[in-house]
Structure 1
Amino acid sequence: MPVSIVVGGQFGSEGKGKVALEIARRSKAPVTLVRVGGPNSGHTGYDRAGKKWALRQLPAGCVDRNVDVVFPAGSYINVEVLLNEIEVLHYPRDRVFISPFARIITEQHRAWERDAGLVGSIGSTGSGVGGAVMAAAAREAANFPLESPTAEQHASLQPFIDDISERLRKGLNHENRVIIEGTQGFGLSLLEGGYWPKSTSRSTTAAGALAEAGLSPLDVDDVTMVIRSFPIRVSGDSGPLLNETTWAAIASGARLKADIREYTTVTQKLRRVGHFDVDLVKRACLVNRPRRLVLNHLDYIGPVADLKNSTSALSRFVADVESWIDKSPDWLGFDGLGVVENFKSCTWNV
């Protein structure tokens, strides 16, 4: 069945949003974008007019405004952020569908994270997703202080409430393409990432995203894992980052004159950056078993023209990655122009 899952193989910000958008654009069938997780990370996409959209709640794969957008039961919604993004993007409201069982993030959840010290101790964005996850798992326990409201209980979301399981199944039965846009990256996964407690509050693997979407493993024909040339972590005490370096050192190595420093979408703090961690990506491949691998941010190594030169630093790096992880990247991404472009041709047809 035609389900694509897009996940990150490092610590997030690998470019999952633009890859989901690329898959949507290449699909010959109607597309439904499923957004799992919550607004604790930003996804960026450029629409066909070249305008950049940094979204926290809507999936970046929807910026062309021509796909159905689904929030399944395994999603966590900041209502204010969602409604604002729908308005700013001028997204067709009749193409947004929300499960009645999706969870609502409240100010109570955000305050709990601040009071718990998670923002400082693990580099949390303080968006309330962790609090919302805890509240849902507590199941209204008498000794846990947080409530867990659902989407069907929120008046502003009533026009969007729908039977998501039935909607997705009908689409799949008609061979429509469903794309699950995962959040964050493998190294942040609560269960498998290996960096607990410096992790997020959910499983960020393909299997975890599929479970949150409420679909069967038998539906999946594509797992796409996205990695980047230099992995990042958020600022502060966010956990280990192998061979940490600086943005200035990367720019110098690639002879880049532009300021390439990256800042987090949610908190606008300077990201930490490190050299390629082979072991992390190999573990991510073992757990996610991607059918397609996307290697992004290659302009931090060299310009796309250098791919024509087998002795260039860029060509050597791509060859090294293939040798290190025993898997060839299917698509190559260059972000210098801020658009999805210069991917290697992929024979698999979505």
Structure 2
Amino acid sequence: MTCTIVVGGQWGDEGKGKIISYLCSKDNPSIVARGGVGPNAGHTVEVNGKKYGIRMVPTGFPNRASILAIGAGVLVDPEVLLKEIEMLNEFRVGERLIVDYNCGIIESRHREIDRSDNHLAKEIGTTGTGCGPANVDRVMRVLKLAKDVESLKPYLGDVSERINEALDRGENVLIEGTQGTLLSLYHGTYPYVTSKDTTASSFAADVGIGPTRVDEVIVVFKSYPTRVGEGPFPTEMPIEEAERLNLVEYGTVTGRRRRVGYFDYKLARRVCRLNGATQIAITCLDKYDRRCYGITRYEDLSEKGKSFIEKIEEETGVPVTLVSTGPELHQTIDRRE
């Protein structure tokens, strides 16, 4: 039984939702806990051909046997969360959800400040979801907490206690981190970053477990990195090239067109080091080489696909254990022991 943290290896949008959904289906964790910033990160989860865009509920919700937890380090927008609970009613999310008593609360004034700040909105490209201003209030010790919100009372609990007790019983726990490592306030492309750290260490702290309780850290890389908003992007390709390669994408939260680039091995090595990665998951290999679409056995991949994976392993020193070759859960190569 293991405690696994899943981390984005680029600027978000790496396809973590697909990897998390696969792990939930395969490993059947008793708890899926969310760390990270808040509703400024969107995830798209596809279940039986239907897509769900979510910003607050853990993306492991399709596994109906798992408890869904939002750690104390995560900012909660009650309006967004309650809408998602209603939207996902068929998955009994409301019956399985635990929101930590100490989650910080985003209020309308935080969103207004976020959207009116010209420096953040225009120069950096904030999502306007109020996360930055709410984190400022948290640092100033004036932020409202989840335990003070009446509408959240049916879902409140001690997430740290529940996770640690599950680990004591030898159960599987999956912690999903939002955004990507290169958006970390400390280790990312400052000032074009989010309002807190987004590495595995912080995700463990967000849900209330110590570092010695973590067994595996899976860093997720997309075969072609993308970025929404401003900021450095060393391997960015021209828009015309992205269109030619059919790599045009739009952000889940902002709807803005994503900038697209070539895989950056140097940054991948740094990200693995920052997170203490034990495994790597590669998504969208089928976009890197169309001949890899839908393949489920490593030996059946094209030579181009294999060479790409081998080079990532060589450059980072970390094994690539999961490879996504399409949007469906079964379109996954699992090389774990």
1:155 to 150, 153, 170: 150
TM alignment of 1:322-337, pairs within 5 A: 322-335=313-326
Superposition RMSD on alpha carbons, in Å?
2.0
- Structure 2 residue runs of 5 or longer lacking an equivalent are none
| Matched residues, number | 329
Structure 1 residue 311 displacement after superposition? 6.8
Structure 1 residue 247 displacement after superposition? 5.9
- Which amino acid is 1:175 matched to? G
Distance in 2 between the 1:239 and 1:12 partners? 13
Provide closer, same or farther for how the CA distance between residues 233 and 212 of structure 1 changes in structure 2, counting only shifts above 3 A: same
TM-score norm. by structure 1 comes to 0.88
Contact preservation (8 Å) 2:278, 2:319: no
Structure 1 residue 317 displacement after superposition? 2.2
1:249 to 229, 241, 266: 241
Distance in 1 between the 2:223 and 2:69 partners? 31
Match in the other structure for 2:45: 45
TM alignment of 1:306-321, pairs within 5 A: 312-321=303-312
Match in the other structure for 1:124: 126
Match in the other structure for 2:18: 18
Contact preservation (8 Å) 1:43, 1:59: no
Match in the other structure for 1:4: 4
TM alignment of 1:211-290, pairs within 5 A: 211-235=205-229, 238-246=230-238, 248-250=240-242, 252=244, 260-290=247-277
- Which amino acid is 2:329 matched to? V
Contact preservation (8 Å) 1:53, 1:60: no
Structure 1 residue 71 displacement after superposition? 1.3
- Structure 1 residue runs of 5 or longer lacking an equivalent are 141-147, 254-258
Q: Secondary structure of the equivalent of 2:52?
A: strand
Provide closer, same or farther for how the CA distance between residues 346 and 314 of structure 1 changes in structure 2, counting only shifts above 3 A: closer
Provide closer, same or farther for how the CA distance between residues 199 and 159 of structure 1 changes in structure 2, counting only shifts above 3 A: same
Distance in 1 between the 2:300 and 2:50 partners? 32
Q: Percent identity?
A: 34
Distance in 2 between the 1:185 and 1:290 partners? 14
Match in the other structure for 1:79: 78
Structure 1 residue 260 displacement after superposition? 4.0
- Which amino acid is 1:55 matched to? I
Distance in 1 between the 2:336 and 2:138 partners? 42
- Which amino acid is 1:182 matched to? G
Q: Secondary structure of the equivalent of 1:101?
A: coil
Structure 1 residue 347 displacement after superposition? 3.0
Q: Secondary structure of the equivalent of 2:219?
A: strand
TM alignment of 1:199-218, pairs within 5 A: 199-218=193-212
Distance in 1 between the 2:335 and 2:299 partners? 18
